[in-house]
Structure 1
Amino acid sequence: MAKSDVTNYFRATSLTWIIAITLSVGYFTCIVFAPEVIPYQHMGPFGTFCRYLVDNHAGLMYKGWWAAFAIHVFEAVYSQKVCSEKGIQSSSARLLWFFQTFLFGFASLGLLLKFDPKRPKQH
């Protein structure tokens, strides 16, 4: 792999992960910060379970949301260390890795960790 390929390396996470994580984090955010907008009665057993969590464990859900946020921040910062170790020096590529990892967590970080700049890319 040419050196410029390594310094500019970025790979987007799959659409499946993007959709799954966006919906999950969005739903979790609604449950924690706006539980009244969720139509629990139309969601069957899952809705009943979620309503139970909102009614009986709101504090734990709130702390869990902030813990997930902190984990995503940590992963995004860690992605910058990994970029340095793998020779990704382009500021635009590093910024893309940072934001993608912040938004999608390990679905993004896993791609970066798998990247081996010493081995040519397989097509």
Structure 2
Amino acid sequence: MARSDGSSYFRRSGLFWMVVVTLSLSFLTWTVFWPQDVPYSSLGPLGALAKHLVDYHYPVLYYGWFLTWVIHLFEALFVLKVCSDKGIDSTSTRLLWFAQTFLFGFASLGLLVKYKPDGRPKRQ
């Protein structure tokens, strides 16, 4: 639990978002690096879409995969600035925010952005 001064405030992302992001990025990784192993016919409309993208738009998938991780990295770096702005000084807490945001993106960043430390005016 966070100390009352807010210097070690951390909240875990919701389980729903953790599962959705993990499955989505895992499927994207699978289709980019091992497209021959994906059972497209067993995945219904998602499989048909993935097969079409692999067959006709593979560079978009490939560069999109890298772009996704670059975006997650920039979000994670931005979290370090937000932690400073909100008075979260604990190194271990900042590392938790960084790692969680790198892995889950906005599902984590949104929790930190919504945080209003004590003593700061709340916007309505």
TM-score, normalised relative to structure 1: 0.91
Gaps of 5+ in 1: none
Percentage identity across aligned positions? 50
Q: Matched residues in 1 for 2:45 and 2:90: separation?
A: 48
Between Structure 1 and Structure 2, the one with more helix by share is 1
Shift of 1:12: 0.3
Corresponding residue number in structure 1 for 2:48: 48
Deviations 1:74-98 (A, max 9, x none): 0000000000000000001000000
For 1:14-37, what per-residue CA distance to the aligned partner results, in whole angstroms no more than 9, with x for missing partners? 111111100000001111111112
Q: CA deviation at 1:45?
A: 2.2
Q: Report the alpha carbon displacement of residue 44 of structure 1 after superposing the two structures with TM.
A: 1.8
User: What residue is the counterpart of 2:87 in the other structure?
Assistant: 87
Unaligned runs of 5+ residues in structure 2 are 120-124
Aligned partners of 1:23, 1:44: CA distance in 2, in Å?
16
Corresponding residue pairs, total: 118
Alignment correspondent of 1:31: 31
> Is 2:108 aligned against 1:105?
no
- In 1, distance between residues paired with 2:11 and 2:37? 36
